[in-house]
Structure 1
Amino acid sequence: MNRWRRGAARPPPLTPVSAMRNFWGLMRAYWLSERWKEAWGLTLVIALLTALSSKASVWMAEASGELVNSIAFFHDPTNLTPLASLLTSAGTLLLLVLIKDAGFTGIRHLFSTTLHRKWRGWLNSRFNAALLDGNHTHFHVQHGGVDDAGVGTPPPDNIDQRVQDSIKGMTGGAIGLAMGVMSVAASLFFVGQKLLETSTSVRGLEFLGNYGSFILALGAVAAYVPLNTYIAIKLGGLMERLSIRMQQAEGSYRGELTTFLRRSFHVAASRGESVQRSMHDRLYLDIDKTWGRLNTVNAGYMSFELIYNFVAARFVAYGPGLLPYMHGQINLKGYITGAELVNSLISQCSWFIHVMPAIATLKANSQRVINLAKAIENVQRPQEFYGLTGHSDFSHGGQNAIFGLTVRNLELMHRGSDATPFLTVSNLRFRRGEWTFVRGESGCGKTSLVKAINGLWPYGRGTVIHPDGVKSFYATQDVKLPQVSLKQLVCLPGSADEHSEARVAVALHKAGLGDFIEHLGEEMREGKIWDQVLSGGQKQKLVVARILLLQPGLLFLDEAASALDPEAKIAFHQAIKDNCPDATVISIMHETTPPKSAMGQEFYDSVVTIADGVATKQAHVGLPVELTELLAQPLPAEEWPPLRFPRIKLKEK
Structure 2
Amino acid sequence: MRTFWGLMRAYWLSDRWKEAWTLTLVIAALTALSSKADVWFTRASAELMNSISFFHDAANVTPVQTLLGNAALLVFLVVLKDAGITGIRNLVSTTLHRKWRGWVNGRFNDALLDGNHTHFHAQHGSPAAAAPDNIDQRVQESIKDMTAGAIGLAMGAFGVATALYFLGGELLRNSVAVKGLDFLGDYGTAVLALIAVALYVPFNTWIAVKLGGMLERLNIRMQKAEGSYRGELTTFLRRSFHVAASKGEVVQKSMHNRLYDDIDTTWSCLNIINTIYMGFELVYNFVGARIVAYGPGLVPFIHNGLDLKGYLTGSEQINALIQRCSYFIHVMPAIATLRANSQRVTELANAIENVQHPQEFYSQTGRSDFRYDRQNPVFGLTIQKLELTHQGEDATPFLSAANLRFRRGEWTFLKGESGCGKTSLIKAINGLWPYGRGTIVFPDGARSFYAAQEVKLQQVSLKQLVCLPGTENDHSDAQVASALYKAGLGDFISHMADESRDGKIWDQILSGGQKQKLVVARIVLQQPGLLFLDEATGALDPEGKIAFHQAIRDNCPDVTVISVMHEAVAPRSLAGAEFYHSVVTIADGIATKRPLVPNLPVELTTILAHPKPVEERWLKFPRRMKQK
**Whole-Å Cα distance in 2 between the matches of residues 371 and 438 of structure 1?**
40
**Whole-Å Cα distance in 2 between the matches of residues 128 and 590 of structure 1?**
37
Q: CA deviation at 1:626?
A: 6.9
**Whole-Å Cα distance in 2 between the matches of residues 197 and 626 of structure 1?**
99
Partner residue in 1 for 2:2: 21
**Whole-Å Cα distance in 1 between the matches of residues 407 and 512 of structure 2?**
32
Partner residue in 2 for 1:611: 587
Partner residue in 1 for 2:461: 485
Of residues 341, 344, 351, the one that matches 1:368 is 344
Q: CA deviation at 1:265?
A: 1.4
Q: Tell me whether 1:406 sits opposite 2:382 in the alignment.
A: yes
Of residues 540, 548, 552, the one that matches 1:572 is 548
RMSD of aligned alpha carbons: 1.1
Partner residue in 1 for 2:21: 40
Larger mean Cα displacement after TM superposition, 178-187 or 616-625:
616-625
Decide whether the 8 Å contact of 2:129 with 2:351 is kept in 1. no
Is the partner of 1:615 in helix, strand or coil?
strand
Q: Tell me whether 1:170 sits opposite 2:146 in the alignment.
A: yes
Of residues 404, 410, 424, the one that matches 1:434 is 410
**Whole-Å Cα distance in 2 between the matches of residues 627 and 382 of structure 1?**
38
Is the partner of 2:297 in helix, strand or coil?
helix
Is the partner of 1:610 in helix, strand or coil?
strand
Q: Tell me whether 1:96 sits opposite 2:96 in the alignment.
A: no
Partner residue in 2 for 1:495: 471
Q: CA deviation at 1:153?
A: 3.8
Of residues 231, 234, 250, the one that matches 2:207 is 231
Name the amino acid aligned to 1:332.
Answer: L
Q: Tell me whether 1:136 sits opposite 2:117 in the alignment.
A: yes
Of residues 11, 15, 34, the one that matches 1:30 is 11
Decide whether the 8 Å contact of 2:459 with 2:506 is kept in 1. yes
Decide whether the 8 Å contact of 1:620 with 1:628 is kept in 2. no
**Whole-Å Cα distance in 1 between the matches of residues 24 and 502 of structure 2?**
47
Partner residue in 2 for 1:83: 64
Q: CA deviation at 1:315?
A: 0.5
Deviations 1:550-596 (A, max 9, x none): 00010000000000000001000000000000000000000011000
Partner residue in 2 for 1:645: none
Q: Tell me whether 1:559 sits opposite 2:535 in the alignment.
A: yes
Is the partner of 2:19 in helix, strand or coil?
helix
Name the amino acid aligned to 2:386.
Answer: L
Q: CA deviation at 1:630?
A: 9.1
Is the partner of 2:276 in helix, strand or coil?
helix
Partner residue in 2 for 1:192: 168
Deviations 1:212-235 (A, max 9, x none): 000110111111111111100000
**Whole-Å Cα distance in 1 between the matches of residues 360 and 242 of structure 2?**
39
**Whole-Å Cα distance in 2 between the matches of residues 547 and 278 of structure 1?**
43
Partner residue in 2 for 1:636: none
Is the partner of 2:578 in helix, strand or coil?
coil
Of residues 257, 260, 272, the one that matches 2:233 is 257
Of residues 494, 499, 511, the one that matches 1:535 is 511
Is the partner of 2:296 in helix, strand or coil?
helix
**Whole-Å Cα distance in 2 between the matches of residues 280 and 496 of structure 1?**
40
| Change in 2 beyond 3 A, CA 1:572/1:626 | closer
**Whole-Å Cα distance in 2 between the matches of residues 153 and 235 of structure 1?**
31
Of residues 421, 428, 443, the one that matches 2:419 is 443
Moved over 6 A (4+): none
Q: CA deviation at 1:627?
A: 2.2
Of residues 25, 39, 51, the one that matches 1:58 is 39
Partner residue in 1 for 2:97: 116
Name the amino acid aligned to 1:404.
Answer: G
Name the amino acid aligned to 2:208.
Answer: A
**Whole-Å Cα distance in 1 between the matches of residues 481 and 605 of structure 2?**
41
Decide whether the 8 Å contact of 2:215 with 2:333 is kept in 1. yes
Partner residue in 2 for 1:291: 267
Partner residue in 2 for 1:592: 568
Deviations 1:382-441 (A, max 9, x none): 111111100011110000011100000000000011111000000000000000000000
TM-score, normalised via structure 1 length: 0.92
Decide whether the 8 Å contact of 2:582 with 2:602 is kept in 1. no
Of residues 425, 428, 432, the one that matches 1:456 is 432
Deviations 1:520-563 (A, max 9, x none): 00001011010000111110010000000000010000000000
**Whole-Å Cα distance in 2 between the matches of residues 520 and 206 of structure 1?**
88
Partner residue in 1 for 2:335: 359
Segments of structure 1 that go 5 or more residues without pairing to the other structure are 1-19, 147-151, 632-653
**Whole-Å Cα distance in 1 between the matches of residues 9 and 578 of structure 2?**
62
**Whole-Å Cα distance in 1 between the matches of residues 238 and 406 of structure 2?**
36
**Whole-Å Cα distance in 2 between the matches of residues 417 and 236 of structure 1?**
43
Is the partner of 1:283 in helix, strand or coil?
helix
TM-score, normalised via structure 2 length: 0.96
Partner residue in 2 for 1:107: 88
Deviations 1:476-520 (A, max 9, x none): 001000100000011011000011111111111111111111110
**Whole-Å Cα distance in 1 between the matches of residues 551 and 299 of structure 2?**
97
Decide whether the 8 Å contact of 2:34 with 2:86 is kept in 1. yes
**Whole-Å Cα distance in 2 between the matches of residues 299 and 516 of structure 1?**
59
Decide whether the 8 Å contact of 1:131 with 1:137 is kept in 2. yes
Name the amino acid aligned to 2:449.
Answer: F
| Change in 2 beyond 3 A, CA 1:626/1:249 | closer
**Whole-Å Cα distance in 2 between the matches of residues 629 and 427 of structure 1?**
20
**Whole-Å Cα distance in 1 between the matches of residues 343 and 32 of structure 2?**
31
Is the partner of 2:593 in helix, strand or coil?
strand
Is the partner of 2:404 in helix, strand or coil?
strand
Segments of structure 2 that go 5 or more residues without pairing to the other structure are 608-628
Decide whether the 8 Å contact of 1:444 with 1:610 is kept in 2. yes
Decide whether the 8 Å contact of 1:145 with 1:385 is kept in 2. no
Partner residue in 1 for 2:618: none
**Whole-Å Cα distance in 1 between the matches of residues 348 and 415 of structure 2?**
39
Partner residue in 1 for 2:309: 333
Decide whether the 8 Å contact of 1:407 with 1:465 is kept in 2. yes
Partner residue in 2 for 1:279: 255
Is the partner of 1:373 in helix, strand or coil?
helix
**Whole-Å Cα distance in 1 between the matches of residues 387 and 237 of structure 2?**
38
Q: CA deviation at 1:628?
A: 5.0
Is the partner of 2:393 in helix, strand or coil?
coil
Partner residue in 1 for 2:353: 377
Q: CA deviation at 1:145?
A: 4.0
Name the amino acid aligned to 1:453.
Answer: I
Q: CA deviation at 1:266?
A: 1.4
Is the partner of 1:119 in helix, strand or coil?
helix
**Whole-Å Cα distance in 1 between the matches of residues 599 and 90 of structure 2?**
76
| Change in 2 beyond 3 A, CA 1:22/1:625 | closer
Q: CA deviation at 1:154?
A: 2.1
Q: Tell me whether 1:515 sits opposite 2:491 in the alignment.
A: yes
**What's the % identity of the aligned pairs?**
71
Decide whether the 8 Å contact of 1:605 with 1:623 is kept in 2. no
Name the amino acid aligned to 1:488.
Answer: Q
**Whole-Å Cα distance in 1 between the matches of residues 103 and 331 of structure 2?**
26
Name the amino acid aligned to 1:77.
Answer: A
Name the amino acid aligned to 1:24.
Answer: W
**Whole-Å Cα distance in 1 between the matches of residues 129 and 469 of structure 2?**
32
Decide whether the 8 Å contact of 1:47 with 1:179 is kept in 2. yes
